[in-house]
Amino acid sequence: MAIALQVAGLRKSYADMPVLGPIDVGLAAGSISVVIGRSGCGKTTLLRCLGGLETPDAGSVTAGGAALRRESVGYVFQEPRLMPWLSVARNVGFGLAAWDPERRDRAVAAALDRIGLPDAGQALPKQLSGGMAQRVALARGLAPEPDLLLLDEPFSALDPFTRAQMQEHLLHLHRAYGTTIVLITHDMDEALVLADRILVMRGGHGVPGHIAADLAPALARPRRPADPLLSNWRASLAGLLSES
Ligand SMILES: Nc1ncnc2c1ncn2[C@@H]1O[C@H](COP(=O)(O)OP(=O)(O)O)[C@@H](O)[C@H]1O
Ligand SMILES: [Mg+2]
């Protein structure tokens, strides 16, 4: 079930240096929000606070008025972070140890099916290309059917062609699972192709990370970077990013 997320007064410091906040934002259930901004502006810190991997100094992250449960959050990182000694299926099912085995097997098979690797379950991670490994990481993030999926620059290590394919996979998965998604990128085209909402962050060099602009590119999907309709949005975004 997708959830709406409310973030209120969120702040975080490291060693007394404020790096984030205050962040106040509401994210609609089932929406794809893309956070974009320069390196060091606090994107990862925000995502970790959203998912409960980091305890904020102040503020709250709630879903429908209640605290967000850790088990309802899925993560995908920049690198696949697969366990090399486990099969693809065991990696995908890793977070499902508490599930009844039949239900777990079904969820793993469905996730592998949806990323287009239905026969890869018995393979070992070393047999996968970089793009395939990252698809498996996506499947692992989605197998528990999380209410919220957080992705931290998940495709930035991939070549442009594989990256475009991964973006399609993500949209396909989003249609299938309807999960609320927050994705970090520093790539404008990735933001424009994927986002219902683009949050431009600024910060760093002593300025705590904050949301400097909030755009909602109401464009039909599928979107192609070459689509002329995207160029006005790209120009706005480029302007906002160059000011940061
Ligand atoms: N664990 C940490 N300890 C100390 N400083 C950190 C830690 N994580 C991040 N920072 C600092 O917080 C700021 C924001 O970092 P981060 O959220 O990783 O930014 P981004 O993901 O936008 O590149 C940076 O100045 C970074 O050096
Ligand atoms: Mg980061």
Closest C-alpha residue for ligand 1 atom 6: 14
DSSP, collapsed to helix, strand or coil, labels residue 79 as coil
Tens of pLDDT along 213-244?
Answer: 999 998 888 898 888 889 999 999 999 998 86
Mean confidence (pLDDT) of the chain: 93
How far is ligand 2, taken at its centre, from the CA of residue 39, in Å?
A: 7
Q: Which atom of ligand 1 is nearest to the CA of 153?
A: 21
What distance in Å separates the CA atoms of residue 204 and residue 206, rounded to the nearest whole number? 5
Tens of pLDDT along 204-213?
Answer: 999 999 999 9
Q: What are phi and psi of 32, to 5 degrees?
A: -110, 110
Residue 190 contacts residue 167 (beta carbons within 8 Å): yes
Q: Which atom of ligand 1 is nearest to the CA of 152?
A: 21
What distance in Å separates the CA atoms of residue 4 and residue 49, rounded to the nearest whole number? 16
pLDDT band of 155, cuts 50, 70, 90: very high
Mean pLDDT of 190-206: 95
* Percent of the chain residues topping a pLDDT of 90: 75
Place of tokens 């994705």: 183
What is the total residue count of the chain?
244
DSSP category for residue 40: T
**Amino acid residing at 39:** S
| Residue 60 pLDDT | 95
pLDDT band of 28, cuts 50, 70, 90: very high
| Residue 202 pLDDT | 96
Q: What are phi and psi of 223, to 5 degrees?
A: -110, 140
3-class SS letters over 121-155: CCCCHHHCCHHHHHHHHHHHHHCCCCCEEEEECCC
Residue 56 contacts residue 49 (beta carbons within 8 Å): yes
| Residue 128 pLDDT | 96
- Containing domain of residue 118, as a range? 5-158+165-243
| Residue 115 pLDDT | 87
How far is ligand 2, taken at its centre, from the CA of residue 210, in Å?
A: 14
Q: Which atom of ligand 1 is nearest to the CA of 201?
A: 22
The closest ligand to the CA of 38 turns out to be 1
Question: How many domains does the chain fold into?
Answer: 1
Mean pLDDT of 31-51: 96
**Amino acid residing at 96:** L
The tokens for 210 are 């904050």
pTM metric for this prediction? 0.94
Mean pLDDT of 135-160: 92
Contacts of 135 (CB under 8 A, 6+ apart): 115, 116, 117, 166, 169
How far is ligand 1, taken at its centre, from the CA of residue 46, in Å?
A: 10
Tens of pLDDT along 167-181?
Answer: 998 998 898 888 999
DSSP codes, 206-220: TEEEEEEEEE-----
| Residue 145 pLDDT | 87
Tens of pLDDT along 62-79?
Answer: 998 888 888 889 999 989
The tokens for 229 are 């309709």
Closest by CA to 135, choosing from 96, 183, 170, is 170
CATH at 154? 3.40.50.300
Q: What are phi and psi of 47, to 5 degrees?
A: -65, -40
Phi-psi region of 85 (alpha: psi -120 to 50; beta: other; left: phi over 0): alpha
| Residue 244 pLDDT | 64
Mean pLDDT of 183-190: 94
| Residue 225 pLDDT | 85
Mean pLDDT of 102-124: 94
